[in-house]
């Protein structure tokens, strides 16, 4: 495949596509309440889920890791008793946080909690699939179009592959990207590393766009640059990238003061 000099990695959920709030508030959180019979403290349990996955430094965390945190907090508040030993062991040992990997471990251990977690994850996928169509944030299309002239674009997401590809197709954005890396491709850090190794891009020629601290970390671990979609200011962020940040990226003046300002603004919005 012919490569350009620049690589731009784009997170999907909550960054390019406005899906985070709906997925968490209408699917993951209420289904956790349902599966663990937390109806008696629904409001508190959903608040725990949403705070962890949407409004904290853990925003964008993988669903399984988020579930471990949320269930542990529910237990420490006395809402629930559950033995998470096998689940925590799987989280530590697995390379890929996916239903397939969890199912494999369930086959080996027959642990009833793993079974419940797999059910919750599958039911969540079904619920997400029947949500009303999501929208791309305003400005995304124009920005992707501009960037695709100068660089290779790749989706780097930790969400379910079918969902990501369906969304990018539906919004007519898939044509701008060369590759889609999703939950089944491994960690974002690993995905960026692989793309960089395959294409031989220099760190200063790689930009990761994301809405979560984990996206920033994945960029930094690879020596790549980071541009944040600031929460609740997504449209403004995409416009800024198109009109200002991307030119700096191409010119080699992105790293340093400019990037630090973007990161500062991003983290302040998450506190």
Instruction: Figure out which of the listed residues 8, 9, 15, 241 binds Mg ion, where binding follows CB under 5 A.
Output: 15
Give the shortest CB-150-to-Mg ion separation in angstroms: 23
- As measured in angstroms, the least distance from the Cβ of 166 to Mg ion is 17
Nearer to Mg ion, 7 or 15 (CB): 15
d(CA 106, CA 104): 5
Q: Considering beta carbons, is residue 42 or 161 the nearer one to Mg ion?
A: 161
Which residues, 197 to 226, sit near Mg ion by CB under 5 A?
Answer: 211-212
**The one segment of 28-36, 43-51, 57-65, 239-247 that binds Mg ion by CB under 5 A:** 57-65
Name the residue among 63, 212, 185, 181 with its Cα closest to residue 123.
Answer: 63
Restricting to residues 110-129, name those near Mg ion by CB under 5 A: none
CA angle 143, 194, 154 (to 5 degrees): 20
Binders of Mg ion: how many residues, by CB under 5 A?
Answer: 7
Distance CA 231, CA 215 (A): 13
Around Cβ 53, how many Cβ atoms within 10 Å?
Answer: 27
Choices 53-61, 67-75, 128-136, 235-243; region in contact with Mg ion by CB under 5 A: 53-61
Cβ proximity to Mg ion, 214 vs 245, nearer residue: 214
Token pair of 240 as six digits: 């800024």
| 228 is a site residue for Mg ion (CB under 5 A) | no
- Note whether 11 binds Mg ion by CB under 5 A: yes
H/E stretch holding 151 reads strand 151-156
Q: How far is the CB of 13 from Mg ion (least distance, A)?
A: 4
Q: Give alpha helix (H) positions in 4-55.
A: 20-22, 29-35, 42-50
Shortest reach from residue 215's CB to Mg ion, in Å? 6
> Considering the rule CB under 5 A, would residue 167 count as an interface residue with Mg ion?
no
CB 84 within 8 A of CB 72: yes
Return the CA Rg of the chain: 19
Of these, 7, 13, 155, 183, which contacts Mg ion (CB under 5 A)? 13
Residue 38: partners with Cβ closer than 8 Å, 6 or more residues away:
32, 45, 74, 79, 80
Residues that bind Mg ion (CB under 5 A): 11, 13-15, 60, 211-212
């Amino acid at each position: 495949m012919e490569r350009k000099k620049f690589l731009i990695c784009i997170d999907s959920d909550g960054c390019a596509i406005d899906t985070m709030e709906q997925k968490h508030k209408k699917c993951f959180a209420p289904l956790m309440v349902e599966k663990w019979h937390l109806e008696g403290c629904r409001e508190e349990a959903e608040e725990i889920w949403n705070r962890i996955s949407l409004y904290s430094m853990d925003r964008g965390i993988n669903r399984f890791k988020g579930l471990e945190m949320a269930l542990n907090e529910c237990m420490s508040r006395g809402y629930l008793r559950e033995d998470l030993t096998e689940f925590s062991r799987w989280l530590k040992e697995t390379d890929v946080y996916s239903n397939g990997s969890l199912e494999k471990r369930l086959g080996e251990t027959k642990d009833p909690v793993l079974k419940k977690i797999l059910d919750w994850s599958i039911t969540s996928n079904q619920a997400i699939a029947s949500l009303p169509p999501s929208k791309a944030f305003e400005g995304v299309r124009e920005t992707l179009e501009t960037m695709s002239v100068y660089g290779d674009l790749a989706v780097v997401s930790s969400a379910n592959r079918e969902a990501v590809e369906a969304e990018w197709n539906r919004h007519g954005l898939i044509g701008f990207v060369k590759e889609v890396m999703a939950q089944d491709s491994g960690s974002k850090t690993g995905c960026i590393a692989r793309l960089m190794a395959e294409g031989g891009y220099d760190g200063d020629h790689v930009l990761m766009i994301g809405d979560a601290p984990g996206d920033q970390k994945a960029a930094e671990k690879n020596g790549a640059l980071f541009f944040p979609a600031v929460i609740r200011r997504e449209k403004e962020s995409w416009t800024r990238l198109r009109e200002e940040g991307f030119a700096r990226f191409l010119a080699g003046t992105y790293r340093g003061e400019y990037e630090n300002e973007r990161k500062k603004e991003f983290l302040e919005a998450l506190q």
